[in-house]
Amino acid sequence: MHQLFPLCLLVVASVASPATYQMSALGDDMIFYINHVSNTTWKAGRNFHPNELERVKSLLGIDMESNRAYNRIHLKYKEIEVSDDLPKEFDPRKKWPKCQSLSEVRDQSTCGSCWAFGSVEAMTDRICIAGGGAVHLSAEDVNSCCESCGFGCQGGYPTAAWAYYVQSGVVTGGQYGSKQGCLPYSLAHCDHHVKGKYQPCGPVVPTPKCTKQCEAGYSKSYDEDKHFGESSYGVKGVDQIAQDLVSNGPVTALFYVYEDFLSYKSGVYKHTTGKYLGAHAVKILGYGVENGQDYWLVTNSWNEDWGDKGFFKIAKGSDECAIEDMIVTGNPKV
């Protein structure tokens, strides 16, 4: 019986389009369809248990339409002059090897704080790239203390997070249990995945309380530890985004999430099948070409066991899942 199942699935899937063949989210049938029937540019695998869909949806802390409306009022776009020698591929970890944060994958835990993570990760990288040293800005500070940024673990606005960085500053803080910086993340890494090294994830939690007080024994006060941005801005256009990555470092991006994305393992992601689930915020790190397909290199915040060691590639140049629609970033004050 086990030997017949893939053949039967192949027959069904080959005569039915994704629109007519109803596959289960996070199911083996969807993974099989992507890998053996769809002829797409990426490979799927088991990242989550099949019964975890509702919990995973709670990690998607972006309302795209609300963010679009917010950006129309609050986000100013910067004109980026594109160089004639803009490279075809770019990995900032090679250009700025001393900036170890470029290789880091954080974990937002059981909280829809992706909007804060995608923002502070890029801020952290850009401080190092600009010569401000190896600081590690706190996702806890932005998620819990920025009252204008949204709703904490229930979602928020990356543009507001970057404005908060400019206006109020962000303190340092490492990942959970690190004892690093003023305000380390207070929610534990958890096993989002079928096979991981952490405790199982539970349901989404309330937003941790804003304390505005550094950990006991830290050498500075909360106010003394603030790091400020000099500016925040949006970027439009594929070449302009690429140029800003090459010149200044990572940016924050928002994109639509469909069921198939949850099973990403390798290759260049393109929405292939599955229903819309919500939207997510991430950090675009660089870009490149794989088997003739242009891609953005992206850091996720579901720890290093998800996807390709915590990273993924997504098609570049076609606004895949609106990944190029709402890019926000900024420059540090160093």
Compute the radius of gyration of the chain from its Cα atoms.
20
> Which among 286, 282, 264 is positioned nearest to 274, based on CA atoms?
264
The answer to whether the beta carbons of residues 171 and 183 sit under 8 Å apart is yes
The answer to whether the beta carbons of residues 187 and 110 sit under 8 Å apart is yes
- What positions carry a catalytic annotation? 114, 280, 300
Enumerate residues 6+ apart whose C-beta is below 8 A from 231: 166, 330, 331
Enumerate residues 6+ apart whose C-beta is below 8 A from 292: none
> Which among 329, 301, 303, 299 is positioned nearest to 314, based on CA atoms?
299
Beta strands per DSSP E along the chain: 42-44, 229-235, 251-258, 264-269, 276-290, 293-299, 311-315, 327-332
Residue 49, judged by CB atoms within 10 A of its CB (0-12, 13-18, 19+), counts as: middle
Q: How far apart are CA 312 and CA 298, in angstroms?
A: 5
